[in-house]
Amino acid sequence: MVGVVQEEEAGSSSEESLSPWEVLLQGGDQEHLALTLPSARPVLGNIAIALDLIAHPLTQIRLRVAGPMTPNELATVACLSSAFRGLRASTLLALSGYSTEARTVLRRTYEAAALARMLAHEPVLAEQWLREAQWFPDRKVRKWFGVQAAPGEERTGYQEHYRYSSAFAHPTVRSTFPLLLTDGESIFPALRTLQDPTGALMALREVMAEAVFVCFAVRNAMVDPALLSPPWHQSLSDLTQAVGLVLPEVQRHWQETDMTFDRLMESVVPVDELDDVLRADPNSYANVRRRASGGSETSAESG
């Protein structure tokens, strides 16, 4: 505590005119941001592209409270929204000099995106997740992804990264020792932001890689990836190449999507016409249930 008091006294003359909140914001964050931005701009550009790809389908979603909604739809949208916010938060943390804290948020973001990917295709698990309203053990997600591992593999890429990121999500040596400094004779805590643009750039590259992962989670959570527009798939293909990922199947996928997207859009019923279509369809759930209970089918005019 003596060391902390001395540090406060040493800085009091330059900060005595600042309010407590202003002092809190003068911990070196703005200086770190100014030092980091010039070298980080290319990485930030790719992160921005990924965020735009993630946001595009999410901003088109309007789950109707009084209309048809499935548990996996609601769970998936919630988790992907959380992942989007996590990417933004970790980016801002890294830029401001909080690389360790950025990685902590990244682990949660990674988990949210992976959970969205699983719950999108597992309605029973999605309903359980909604009803319990508690943390869903990630071992279930890891096990679900593990089924897709090749024979002989001990763990999937998802599991490997989860193990790596967990070291930063918990108080381990890896996550806490960077906050200690030494002058060769003693060790003391780094309470103010250290000027480390190189370390921040490394964290931002991890954010960029995870942002690409979330893009794929969005794509694979769709009932059919072809529902995403061809430009969306092309942008994802361009982004993977820009960050150094060689994925020929992504390039091929968007080219194939280009041929099927228009046909799919022609068959999609606009949301403002959906109720009338369902009332007129003898195989809709409402009409099947009504017949089962001895009633008659509804008509488009009976609304």
Separation of alpha carbons 74 and 70, rounded Å: 7
User: Hey, where are the domains in the chain?
Assistant: 20-180+187-223
DSSP state of 209: H
Could you report the per-residue pLDDT of 200-233, keeping only the tens digit for each? 999 999 999 999 999 999 998 888 887 788 888 8
Name the residue with higher pLDDT: 70 or 100.
100
Please tell me whether the overall predicted TM-score, pTM, comes out greater than 0.85 for this model. no
Separation of alpha carbons 194 and 207, rounded Å: 20
CB burial of residue 227 (10 Å; 0-12, 13-18, 19+): middle
Residue range 134-146: average pLDDT?
66
